[in-house]
Structure 1
Amino acid sequence: MSELTNMTDDMYFAPLLPWQHELWSQLTMRVLAPQQSLPHALLAAGMQGMGKRAFVWRLVAWLLCRARDEHPLGACGHCESCQWLRSGTHPSLQVLPLVSLPVNADSSAQKEALANSTKDKKSAKTASNASLKIKVDDIRALQPFIYQGGQGMRICVLDHAEKMTIAAANALLKTLEEPQAQVHLFLISDAPAQLLPTIKSRVQQLALQTIDPAVAVDYVTKALGSNVHREAVGTDAIEQLIQLANGAPLAAVALAQAPWYSKRALWLTTWQALRSGKRSSVAASDYWQTQLGIVEFIQLSELMIIDIRRVGLGFEAQQKDINFLINLNDYQPIDSGLEVFAHSLQQTKIALQQNVQEKFVYDKLMQDLACL
């Protein structure tokens, strides 16, 4: 489970995450109570893997549900409104950018719209930055929907709100400053520090970031244990996953299920073989191309570099299941060299957006790793 943008319509009706029950109760009670309502604009912010998007989509579905009074724990999933959500054609919901709309695999109209939004791009992965950008014309296009009046509840969701251009953010300010009856705006951001202060001052932030460690451990344990193809994961391994994911349970689960996570010790072995000259960079490149895609290898490398730097500075490695000291006893790279390699990884990400062939990228990274 993750917070990536290509979700399914199940996000509207998925079970509430364990650490979100209290906030859910607070918000739904305000809606159901006489003479109370939700704030005009809400911000769901924080690192990926905390479940903020899951919470927002579930709340959106419940607010629009025709039977919400009888279903306080979530949308009914069967009324006309819920069926519109499943088909991706709800007339009272607008989402920016379009690629953030939960995708129904059976909605041909929605698939066509999404395809058009990323045309001329080799893949959604390499075009992500461009497809997530929210421009001033996008905000202006919402105005008729927001100000039409007399149409019942209407909801606008701005995902990746930090991707708004300055002009788009300024255009949004007018809407935030002039609340319309029965119109609710939800802003979602992985990097709220990048939002304009004037935007943040006009929205109420949802308390989604505090998760009890015991609740996180229990959730990750159950999530990984539900996969019958995996061996049981011990408590130490679970706690390490949560630590590496900065306390975000969904990110911890995604990390455990990432194809590169089990290859961390192999990465160290490859580095030592390259550094000692026991293996050529070309041979290492050819081998790793059969193991992981280049994006996954970069993610693996970034994690390994963090702990190599920690150990070099005299701190304990976060990855307790790998003995970094054995690998670093005879040789420890200087911090400037690690910085150069980390910079090379960042430059590689940029190069991949220009459709550079993965083989060339792999070859270059292995040469850089050999010199580390």
Structure 2
Amino acid sequence: MISPVPLSDSIYFAPLLPWQNELWSQLTKRVLMPQQSLPHALLAAGMQGMGKRAFVWRLVAWLLCRERVNHPLGACGTCESCQWLRSGTHPSLQVLPIISMPVSADNAYAKEAASSTAKDKKSAKAASNAALKIKVDDIRALQPFIYQGGQGMRICVLDYAEQMTIAAANALLKTLEEPQAQVHLFLISDTPAQLLPTIKSRVQQLALQTIEPTVSIDYVTQVLGSTVNREAVGTSAIEQLIQLANGAPLAAVSLAQAPWYGKRALWLTTWQALRSGKRSSIAASDYWQTQLSISEFIQLSELMLVDMRRVCLGLDALQKDIDLSASLSNYKPAESSFEAFINSLQQTKIALQQNVQEKFAYDKLMQELAYL
């Protein structure tokens, strides 16, 4: 069976994100008005952190809700259909890939569920990555559900749609070209450029990517609450988070809450100490292992490198709360040095997937950071 067993059902009934109100109203009115309906296939695409998955799962729940006429703002949460969603056994919902379980507003879903029986990290990650692939047999397995006929709405959700193989995408084309009454397909993609043009030409994209800056600022401020004192710093800290997150409010919130975000100045101090020889790479490695996991340190390093390169190119730093310009005033790494260290970060990610010990990876990264 392809329908998911969600780790959390809250995503189906979560409050609507403020920048999605207008689109929600447009779509739900089409469903409720006589002689109108939703397009057969819809695409929710764009970077992570914009809330596209939150919107899709909320809309799916509302479309299936038995009381939607009386609840235009979202599924009732109590009818038989909503109870089926809560238990992960809805007979009118099918989801690919199998591990796509609604657990958060717009993060990647719980990949661990696909690899919980793996014996080590290497096999767990391999199982998780493989499970994201949508193969031709997966699409074929949907056919009986799509073409079974009968009464009532049926919904298929294809998350990570860009992960379809060519054969799977071609198999899906037949379904897109021969729409069935009461059947709706939702495709979700973080990288829609990877979708086949023939797929994109047969779906209607949801307008989820445009968010007014003031709406983003208000939302991030509200979610973070006392984490950022807006009275003291105005909107600068919030604006910086949103800018670093490329305008995605949910990603900005995640960034602020990341354990490494508050260690950016410390990273800069470590780099200067390593480069000047005032601290050994082994000592730096031992210290940072007590502060962050290697994956968190890589995320921190990637952010710092982006801004350092900006400054070296004569552009303003995105991070206004640390003094990058002063740190780079006497020494600016060459572009080749940036490229070498970025390559090291990528190689470290690959090595970690191959079960390389974190200590070894940390030691090696610190040695290479000293030569940046």
CA shift, 1:121, in A, is 6.4
In the alignment, structure 1 residue 179 sits paired with structure 2 residue 179: yes
Partners of 1:117 and 1:88 in 2: how far apart? 19
CA shift, 1:325, in A, is 1.5
Partners of 2:126 and 2:290 in 1: how far apart? 21
In the other structure, the counterpart of 1:108 is: none
Describe the shift of the 1:116–1:44 C-alpha distance in structure 2 as closer, same or farther (beyond 3 A).
closer
In the other structure, the counterpart of 2:118 is: 120
Describe the shift of the 1:59–1:121 C-alpha distance in structure 2 as closer, same or farther (beyond 3 A).
farther
Deviates more, 1:202-211 or 1:358-367: 358-367
Q: Deviations over 1:101-160 (max 9, x none)?
A: 2269xxxxxx9x974566436456665432211111111111111111104111000001
Partners of 2:164 and 2:247 in 1: how far apart? 27
In the other structure, the counterpart of 2:272 is: 272
Partners of 1:140 and 1:366 in 2: how far apart? 49
In the other structure, the counterpart of 1:232 is: 229
Partners of 2:149 and 2:357 in 1: how far apart? 52
TM-score by length of 2: 0.92
In the other structure, the counterpart of 1:359 is: 359
Partners of 1:208 and 1:295 in 2: how far apart? 30
Describe the shift of the 1:222–1:125 C-alpha distance in structure 2 as closer, same or farther (beyond 3 A).
farther
In the other structure, the counterpart of 1:218 is: 218
Aligned residues: 357
In the other structure, the counterpart of 2:152 is: 152
Tell me if the contact between 2:62 and 2:68 (Cα under 8 Å) persists in the aligned partners.
yes
Which amino acid is the alignment partner of residue 325 of structure 1? S
Partners of 1:83 and 1:277 in 2: how far apart? 62
Tell me if the contact between 2:114 and 2:128 (Cα under 8 Å) persists in the aligned partners.
no
Q: Deviations over 1:12-61 (max 9, x none)?
A: 00000000000000000000000111000000000000000000000000
Tell me if the contact between 2:115 and 2:127 (Cα under 8 Å) persists in the aligned partners.
no
TM-score by length of 1: 0.92
Describe the shift of the 1:114–1:180 C-alpha distance in structure 2 as closer, same or farther (beyond 3 A).
farther
Partners of 2:211 and 2:157 in 1: how far apart? 24
Partners of 1:47 and 1:103 in 2: how far apart? 18
CA shift, 1:98, in A, is 1.8
Gaps of 5+ in 1: 1-5, 105-110
Give the secondary structure class of the aligned counterpart of 1:90: coil
Q: Deviations over 1:259-316 (max 9, x none)?
A: 0000000000001111111111111111111111111111000000001111111111
Give the secondary structure class of the aligned counterpart of 1:69: helix
Give the secondary structure class of the aligned counterpart of 1:157: strand
Give the secondary structure class of the aligned counterpart of 2:346: helix
Partners of 1:190 and 1:287 in 2: how far apart? 35
In the other structure, the counterpart of 1:57 is: 57
Partners of 1:352 and 1:114 in 2: how far apart? 16
- What is the aligned-residue RMSD (CA, Å)? 1.8
CA shift, 1:100, in A, is 1.3
Describe the shift of the 1:243–1:37 C-alpha distance in structure 2 as closer, same or farther (beyond 3 A).
same
Which amino acid is the alignment partner of residue 165 of structure 1? T
The within-5 A match list for 1:1-372 is: 8-102=8-102, 115=113, 119-120=117-118, 122=120, 127-225=127-225, 230-233=227-230, 234=233, 235-372=235-372
CA shift, 1:343, in A, is 1.2
